[in-house]
Amino acid sequence: MRREPSIIIVGGGPAGSAAAIELRRRGVGRVTILDRSAYPRLKVCGSGLSPNALRELERLELKDILAPLHIPMRGIVAVGPGGRSIELRGDHGAWIVPRTDFDHTLLREAGRLGAEIREKTRVRALLRDDNGRVRGVRTADEELEADLVICANGSPSQFEFDHSPRYGIRTIMGWWKGATLPAPDQGIFAWSRQLDGYYAWAFPEPGGVVNVGLTIAERSAASHGIRPLFEEILEQEFSDVLRGAESMGPWKGHPATVTTRISSELVQPHCMWTGEAARLVSPGSVEGIGFALLSGRIAAELCEEHFDPIRGFSSWHSQLYRSRLAVRMLPKFLAGEAFVRLMRSRGTIRMLSRLADPKRMGQLAATVVGER
């Protein structure tokens, strides 16, 4: 019989908590989550759970405990680069659960199932043996040995799995009280010209709060003056929404990392990467929560099926992890990237400005937010 492995998970966001929950449910290993923050903690995020993410929560049997914390987003208003808009109501709808509550609930569930949680514990480095194999982590205070380290530390990750260039997205967002959306269960996506294929959003949160933000690729020149850009977008796209609303504190930003490829280096013998640390975020929508949950669950599945504390994982297991992720994620990532390219093209902008075919634009927008 294989001995029970000791598993350290770096980061208690959706990827780390999902991995811990699934490991504990499967009875695999002694699991410790290390997170630099103290929970509940703020996470800069639109907090939108797409139909994809909701399906993943169902698979993880987490939807019921989150249900009391959500408000539904049953439709969106999609505003094209020319300023024309269209209303979309999907068959499935999305949820908004503020990340402070969402992440805290998942982390508590991991603890309830037997994972040890250590907050305010920043991991400084991966420890390696003489052969370069990961053997644990170093925090500010100590060295912790483990059979397996799962990096779920988000973006930008300080623990790189390969040296391919990062596809970075800049973001900025704020929260407002008393803002008026077209309907209480309706969000807004605006593909403004200045955002070079990316978009601004306004999402309803519980308690009459609305979060508003924008995403733009780091490679776009306009991303370097993101604050004035946000002021301009707020005025241009959201002046009706925010009229009379009260800003709830300073605007915040956080870099996101998106991808159109899934690396074959996400598994080493005694280390693996999940969630945004593995760059598993869709270009186009910058959706990452569902992919973080999914990759955490698949990582746990792989551990149960194949991890040996002495030999670790092999290169075949690395390919297996990659292919399990790729089959579920790559089509969505490629569709997201195609959407960004389309929205950047002058021809498309002209076409959408005239809004010759509102139905087609609706279908495109529905694809990018995961309704189709």
Ligand X SMILES: Cc1cc2nc3c(=O)[nH]c(=O)nc-3n(C[C@H](O)[C@H](O)[C@H](O)COP(=O)(O)OP(=O)(O)OC[C@H]3O[C@@H](n4cnc5c(N)ncnc54)[C@H](O)[C@@H]3O)c2cc1C
Q: Which residues bind ligand X (CB under 6 A)?
A: 10-16, 34-37, 43-48, 53, 122-123, 152-154, 158, 171, 173, 213, 254, 256, 275-277, 281, 286-290, 292
Give me the DSSP letters along 311-322: TB--HHHHHHHH
Report the residue number, 85 or 282, with the smaller CB distance to ligand X.
Answer: 282
Which residues, in sequence order, are bridge partners of residue 96? 48, 71
Please say whether the beta carbons of 12 and 107 come within 8 A.
yes
Q: Which of 128, 127, 196 is nearest to 340 (CA)?
A: 196
Least Å from the CB of residue 27 to ligand X: 23
Least Å from the CB of residue 355 to ligand X: 26
Computed on alpha carbons and rounded to an integer, the radius of gyration of the chain in Å comes to 21
Least Å from the CB of residue 311 to ligand X: 27
Pairing of strands 71-79, 186-190: parallel
Helix axes 315-344, 358-368, angle to 10 degrees: 150
Report the residue number, 66 or 123, with the smaller CB distance to ligand X.
Answer: 123
Report the residue number, 102 or 351, with the smaller CB distance to ligand X.
Answer: 102
Least Å from the CB of residue 48 to ligand X: 3
Q: Which of 216, 237, 238, 219 is nearest to 227 (CA)?
A: 216
Name the token pair of 42.
Answer: 């703020």
Q: Which of 97, 45, 6, 69 is nearest to 275 (CA)?
A: 45
Report the residue number, 151 or 351, with the smaller CB distance to ligand X.
Answer: 151
Which residue has the closest beta carbon to ligand X?
288
Least Å from the CB of residue 61 to ligand X: 18
The residue written with tokens 């999305």 in the block is 94
Give the torsion sign (CA, 345, 347, 350, 354).
negative
Least Å from the CB of residue 55 to ligand X: 13
Report the residue number, 326 or 355, with the smaller CB distance to ligand X.
Answer: 326
**Distance, CA of 168 to CA of 218 (rounded, Å):** 5
**Distance, CA of 190 to CA of 91 (rounded, Å):** 21
Identity of the amino acid at 332? K
Report the residue number, 84 or 372, with the smaller CB distance to ligand X.
Answer: 372
Q: Within 13 Å and on the Cβ side, how many CA atoms surround 86?
A: 22
Least Å from the CB of residue 91 to ligand X: 19
Report the residue number, 198 or 313, with the smaller CB distance to ligand X.
Answer: 198
Q: What is residue 279's DSSP assignment?
A: T
Report the residue number, 29 or 283, with the smaller CB distance to ligand X.
Answer: 283
Report the residue number, 283 or 351, with the smaller CB distance to ligand X.
Answer: 283
**Distance, CA of 126 to CA of 135 (rounded, Å):** 8
The total number of residues written for the chain in this structure: 372
Report the residue number, 150 or 352, with the smaller CB distance to ligand X.
Answer: 150
Least Å from the CB of residue 94 to ligand X: 9
Pairing of strands 85-96, 71-79: antiparallel
Least Å from the CB of residue 286 to ligand X: 5
Which residues, in sequence order, are bridge partners of residue 145? 136
Least Å from the CB of residue 202 to ligand X: 12
Q: Cβ atoms within 10 A of the Cβ of 209, count?
A: 18
